Amino acid sequence: MAEETFRTETKGMERYPGLTAFLEGWGIFRQSLLGKIGLVLLIMFALMALCSYIPPLIDPMYNPMTGVDPVITCSTGPSRAHWLGTDFMGRDILSQLLAGARVAFMVGVSAAFMSIVLGTAIGMTAGYMGRFMDTFLMRLADMIMVMPTLLVVLILAAVFGQLNIWTIVLIIALFRWPGVSRIIRGQTLSLKQRPFIEAAKVAGASHVRIIFRHIMPNVLPLAFLFMTFRVTSAIIIEAALAFLGFGDPGTVSWGMMLQWVWKTGHMFKAPYWLLPPGICISLITLSFYMLGRAMDEVLDPRLRKEDQTD
């Protein structure tokens, strides 16, 4: 009976195959506990990021970077004016935490998006062109893959001084594409042999057309799956960088907050200041990871052969 109604429901949507596919995928996703927890957590963080615009509107002293409570001169615990307390110079920790959520999304999603675009383009090119191009691009990928991203960014920061947050995002993206490109390349290699590619050739399709019209739609789901994992690693790298003192000094990220706790010697004195950013970093990376795992189940099982170690 339930199936009947579902049928009739989807019938009218024949013209919107993307939507039907989405609904089907959602049906599988919903059955995954991991996916549901991840999604709820992410919605929570997204709300936090949205709310980050509110405190500075209430009072300039709630500005996460520059707003200082005039009556406070050292770190204080939670109070009515500052629900999570203040840092060493009287800035509101809650506002910082909310702003941190916004930065985490920004850094995570944009770095992941860029590395996925890069990795997908390079992987498809290498797999499709083969020969010299393949060898060259994959050797390059190997070289970059073995470089520890964090260390490289640290060295760059040491050489060029403080890095802008967007520079950090760009560097993360530039160093995190090889893993994606390897998987997309493998996928492309197997797609390239399929008769529908040959049929397109016989129809007269150019290489560019075959790559973008025939191969790309078939690898995109996999690329998007990878994006969720890349978000996780980008957030962790940015946090580590900030904590080590090489973050963008003009940005309030959770890693930055930890750095301030550490530098001012409040590590073991102010749990109200140390714990919130620490917990947030762990939870947001965990939630993106769980979301990715659940999406993995939604995707075609044939696509599931990636190795999630990096």
Partner 1 sequence: MMENQGNAIIEIQNVSKVYRSRGALFGVRAKDVVALRQVSLKIYKGEIFGLVGESGSGKTTVGRLIVGLEEITSGEIFLDQENVTGLKGKALKAFRRKVQMIFQDPYQSLNPQRSVLDTVSEPLSIHRVGRSADRKEMAHKVLKSVGLSPPEAFFYRYPHRLSGGQRQRVAIARAMVLNPEFVIADEPTSMLDASISAQIFNILLKMRSTFHVTQMFITHSLAAARYLCDRIAVIYRGQVMEVGSGETIIRNPRHPYTQALIDALPKFKGSGEIKQYGTLLIEEREVNGEPMGCPFYPRCTVAEIRCEREIPGLRMLEEGHYVACFNV
Binding site for partner 1 (CB under 8 A): 14-15, 17, 194-196, 198-206, 209, 213-214, 217-218
CB closer to partner 1 out of 30 and 213:
213
Q: Shortest Cβ distance from residue 19 to partner 1 (Å)?
A: 11
Dihedral angle, C-alpha 256, 258, 260, 263, nearest 10 °: -130
Q: Shortest Cβ distance from residue 228 to partner 1 (Å)?
A: 21
Count of beta carbons in the 10 Å neighbourhood of residue 272:
17
CB closer to partner 1 out of 16 and 26:
16
CB closer to partner 1 out of 30 and 209:
209
Per the CB < 8 A criterion, the answer to whether 80 and 240 are in contact is no
CB closer to partner 1 out of 94 and 215:
215
Backbone angles phi, psi at 86, to 5 degrees: -130, 165
Q: Shortest Cβ distance from residue 206 to partner 1 (Å)?
A: 8
Helices (H) and strands (E) in the chain, counts: 14, 0
Q: Shortest Cβ distance from residue 209 to partner 1 (Å)?
A: 7
The tally of CA atoms less than 13 A away on the side-chain side of residue 123 is: 29
CB closer to partner 1 out of 70 and 217:
217
Dihedral angle, C-alpha 283, 270, 251, 165, nearest 10 °: -60
Q: Shortest Cβ distance from residue 26 to partner 1 (Å)?
A: 18
Q: Shortest Cβ distance from residue 194 to partner 1 (Å)?
A: 6
Read off the DSSP letter of residue 223.
Answer: H
Q: Shortest Cβ distance from residue 196 to partner 1 (Å)?
A: 4
Identify the residue whose tokens are 């950013």: 277
**What is the rounded end-to-end Cα distance, in angstroms, of the chain?**
46
How far is 255 from 278, CA to CA, in rounded Å?
8
How far is 309 from 210, CA to CA, in rounded Å?
31
3-state secondary structure of 14: coil
CB closer to partner 1 out of 13 and 267:
13
Identify the residue whose tokens are 């090119």: 125
CB closer to partner 1 out of 15 and 80:
15
Q: Shortest Cβ distance from residue 14 to partner 1 (Å)?
A: 6
Per the CB < 8 A criterion, the answer to whether 234 and 289 are in contact is no
- Write out the two tokens for 194: 């399929």
CB closer to partner 1 out of 83 and 196:
196
What's the chain's length in residues? 310
